[in-house]
Structure 1
Amino acid sequence: MSEKPRSATTKDRLVAAAYELFEERGFDATTAEDIARRAGVGRTTFFRAFGSKDDVIFPEHDLLLGRIDERLAAATPA
C-alpha cells in the first residue's frame, strides 16, 4: 500500500512561486504581490508566512546569525 503524496503547504507554494519569478524577472523586479498571486494566495498571506522577499531566500537568517555570534563568542584564540 503506497502513501498518498502530501500536498504542498502555502509556504512551499510561496517559495516555489518566488523562485520562479526571481528566475524569470529578477529579484528586484519581483514584488511580494507578484509572488502571492503566482502562489494563488493574497498579499497578506505572503506577509504572514514571510516578513519580506529576503526571508523567502534566507528564512532563518536571524537564527543563523545568532548561532554564529554564539559560536564566535565561545571560541578561543587558537
Structure 2
Amino acid sequence: MIRPAKHLDLNTCILRAASLLLAQLQAERLCKFDDLRQTLAALGPDGDYVFLPTVHFLYLLGRTEYHAQTDSFEYLQPQPGEVS
C-alpha cells in the first residue's frame, strides 16, 4: 500500500490517509479512536480498510501514541534535529 504500483489509487493510499490523520491530530492533539476513524470517512468505504495500517504507519514513524485507558491517540511533536 505504500509502494507505488500501476493500480494504486492515490486518493485512498496510506500516505494520503496519514496526512488526513496527522492534520486532525495536530489540530486536536488528543483524539478518540472513533473520532479519528471518522476522519477517514472522506475516503469513502476505503477509509475503514486503510485506517489500521495508517495508524500503525504513524506509530512506527513516532508521530502517535495510543492511550488504552482513554481509547485515544495523542500527536507527538517531532524532536529537535529529527527529520519531520
Establish whether TM, by shorter chain, passes 0.5: no
Relative contact order: is structure 1 or structure 2 higher (C-alpha 8 Å, sep ≥ 6)?
A: 2
More strand by share: 2
* Length-normalised TM-score, structure 1: 0.42
Q: Computing the radius of gyration over CA atoms, which structure comes out larger, 1 or 2?
A: 1
